[in-house]
Amino acid sequence: MTGGRNSTKIIKFILLGFSEFPKLTTVLFSVFLGIYLITVSWNMGLITLIRMDSHLHTPMYFFLRNLSLLDICYASTIAPRMLLDFFKKHKFISYVECTVQYFFFCGLGLTECCLLAAMAYDRHAAICNPLLYTAIVSPILCVQMVAGSYLAGFFSSFIQLCAFLQLHFCGPNVINHFFCDLPHLLVLSCSDSFFFQIMMSMFTVIFGFISVLVIMISYGHIVATILKISSAEGRSKTFNTCASHMTVVTLFFGSAIFVYMYPNSDDFQSQNKLASVLYTIITPMLNPLIYSLRNKEIKDALNRWKKRIFSRCY
């Protein structure tokens, strides 16, 4: 099944992963395991802190709590399987497992695009219309935006999955990647994938371009508002809050854009994998750290819980 194209139907693929670095297997496994454990623990810690501290029961932290949950699920679609493959001699993944992994990876990734745009809108309303903020961003609207993000992300992923299942795989079954990403699968298909590529480009434009456009417009208005703030302390506080979100957006969209601009180029295989690691593994770990380090309210909440714990111990 790994030879030239023939009439045999592919029932499993081979994920090469990081097999080009055989001497670094133990090191890479240790690093990625540590990153994944930190991702789960930090995001779970942030979810717990926001849930338990009443001072953080605001729209901003409602979105942040959902982003943390999303990041745990997003990283978990890739990391556990990748870690198991490090010490396997034959890194097989069945056709069904591959399609399921892609469905959840795509659905969660598109959901994150929508959620980051919703968070930008929330910051726009809070900074540009502070007096009307609670009326504009109501609890019901928050729930609707989060639910809408998941619905849009997974509905689009389902449509792509239905189209993907129409493709046939009868030739080479080696994927030079560490997970089942669509561009790498399309290269192996014996079917005409032109329509599918058009559809994928359409979804990329809808979710990628529109999300980035909403974020850029929101932050353009935010920057203009910040410059009007007379207090240096007020400008600094507002800027720190927004800088955290923009850092997350830049890491996520920047690395993803690089991957999908050069999906099948042999000259960019190593860079492609590195960028994929950044937006699938690294970014979910950094999100809670970025928000915590630059956020006074999170630090204050941590200090309150430290005092409660110490007061109970002594």
- For the segment 108-136, what is each residue's pLDDT rounded down to a tens digit? 999 999 999 999 999 899 888 888 998 99
Contacts of residue 247, Cβ cutoff 8 Å, sequence gap at least 6: 290
Structure tokens at 185: 């699968």
Lowest mean pLDDT among 16-20, 179-183, 277-281, 295-299: 295-299
Say if 5 falls within a structural domain: no
Say if 2 falls within a structural domain: no
Say if 3 falls within a structural domain: no
Average pLDDT over residues 42-50: 92
Residue 204: its pLDDT value, please? 75
How many residues in the chain?
314
| Domain containing residue 63: CATH number | 1.20.1070.10
Contacts of residue 136, Cβ cutoff 8 Å, sequence gap at least 6: 125, 129
- Separation of alpha carbons 8 and 74, rounded Å: 33
Say if 84 falls within a structural domain: yes
Say if 67 falls within a structural domain: yes
Say if 91 falls within a structural domain: yes
What are φ and ψ of residue 17, in 5° steps?
A: 60, -125
Residue of 178, 168, 41, 44 lying closest to 105 (CA atoms): 178
Structure tokens at 288: 């809670």
14 strand-pairing partners: 92, 174
Number of domains in the chain: 1
Contacts of residue 280, Cβ cutoff 8 Å, sequence gap at least 6: 74, 75, 78, 105, 179
Structure tokens at 265: 């180029």
Residues 294 and 240 sit within 8 Å (Cβ to Cβ): yes
Residue 7: its pLDDT value, please? 47
Say if 281 falls within a structural domain: yes
Quick one: which H or E segment has residue 31?
helix 25-52
Confidence tier at 233 by pLDDT (50, 70, 90):
low
Q: The whole model's pTM is what?
A: 0.87
25-52 residues labelled b (16+ CB within 10 A) or e (exposed): eeebbeebeebbeebbebbeebbebbee
Which residue range(s) make up the domain with 176? 12-313
Residue 143: its pLDDT value, please? 96
Confidence tier at 31 by pLDDT (50, 70, 90):
very high
Say if 247 falls within a structural domain: yes
Residue of 253, 233, 245 lying closest to 294 (CA atoms): 245
